Each structure stands twice: as C-alpha cells, then as structure tokens.
Amino acid sequence: MLAELQCVVLDCREPKRLAEFYRSLLGGDVNRPDRRWSLGDDWSTLHAANGLVLAFQRVAEYQQPQWPDPSKPQQFHLDFGVPDLDAAEEEVLACGATVLDAGSPGQSWRVYADPAGHPFCLVRH
C-alpha cells in the first residue's frame, strides 16, 4: 500500500454550512481539532460517526455542478446506503438537499444535490 485516504475534500462557498449539512446526514463532529488540518473560515471538516472524514474548502469563484450537464460536471459524488429511500429522502430534503433525479418506481437509488450543488445518491441497501 502506497497511501491511505485521509479525507474527501469538497469545494464550496460556505465550508461550515456544508459541513453541518453532511453532519445532519452522517452524524459526527464538525470542526473537531485534528493535527492534520487548520480550521477556519476557509476550511471545515466533518469527522463522521463511522470514521470517515470529509473536508470542505472555500473557493471564491466556485461554480456548482449542474447534473447531468457535462459543461458543468459533477466532479465527484457520494453514495449513501439507506434502508428506506422514502424516509431518507424526507430527512435529506429537510436538511436542505434538493432532488435531481427521483428515479422510477422500484429503482434502488435516487440523486440529490447538497446545498452547494454537489450531487449525491441515496441507495437502498
């Protein structure tokens, strides 16, 4: 093994706000002190309950993805496993997500955007 993944970093306009959004989905601690990163107005972190670390960095000229428009690509996306798509959708929408693709009947996944426009999926497991 050459390296281990330390965190996934998302560009955005409001790092702390986006960290709080993902905390509402995953649990954990926003801006927990960590020797690996300096926290501040331009950088926030989420140490999720399962050990995953997400980081959020301010980009002054940030342009949000326009899924599925290839001229403003999604850049990356996260998949979150959930036992009940309908219940999980209700919760992510209450937290500030928007629906990008509601799927078709019987489909096991749906696509949403976080408040900064990053696509993510809820996938029934």
Domains and CATH numbers, the chain: 8-58 (3.30.720.120), 78-124 (3.10.180.10)
Say if residues 116 and 62 touch (Cβ distance below 8 Å): yes
- Reported residue count of the chain is 125
**pLDDT band (50, 70, 90) for residue 35:** confident
Q: Is 110 exposed, middle or buried (0-12, 13-18, 19+ CB in 10 A)?
A: buried
Q: What is the pTM of this model?
A: 0.84
The C-alpha angle with vertex 47 and arms to 45 and 52, in degrees rounded to 5, equals 110
Average pLDDT over residues 96-107: 93
Dist CA 120 CA 23 (whole Å): 14
Average pLDDT over residues 42-70: 92
Is pLDDT of 1 > 90? no
Say if residues 48 and 59 touch (Cβ distance below 8 Å): no
Say if residues 112 and 97 touch (Cβ distance below 8 Å): yes
